Structure 1
C-alpha cells in the first residue's frame, strides 16, 4: 500500500488498514442447509409402537 498525497498519522494508517482488511476478508461459510432424505424424515416422525397389555386397545385410539 502506498499513500500518494498527504501525511497521515499512524492512527489514520491503522484505521485505513483495518477497514481494508475487513473489506477483503473472505465471507464466512454458509450453514449446511441439506435436509434429511424422505426415509429419515419418515422414521423421525413415526410414532412409537404400541405395547401390548391390559387396556392398551383403548389407548391406541387416543394419540
Structure 2
C-alpha cells in the first residue's frame, strides 16, 4: 500500500510514480530468481584457449606467442 504523505499529485504523476515502483519490484524479483544472468554461450571466457601458459621445455619460448 502506498500512502501520499505530502502534496497533491495529479493522476499522471501518481501513475508515473507507481510505474517506477512496479518496475523496480519486477527487476528485483527477476534478479532474485536469477533471470538477469546471461546464458553460458555468451560468456567471453569460454573463447579463451585452455592452454595459455607455455610448458617448460627447450622450445617453450616459441609457444609463448605461437600457440599450437
TM, length-normalised to structure 2: 0.42
TM, length-normalised to structure 1: 0.45
Higher helix share: 2
Larger radius of gyration: 1
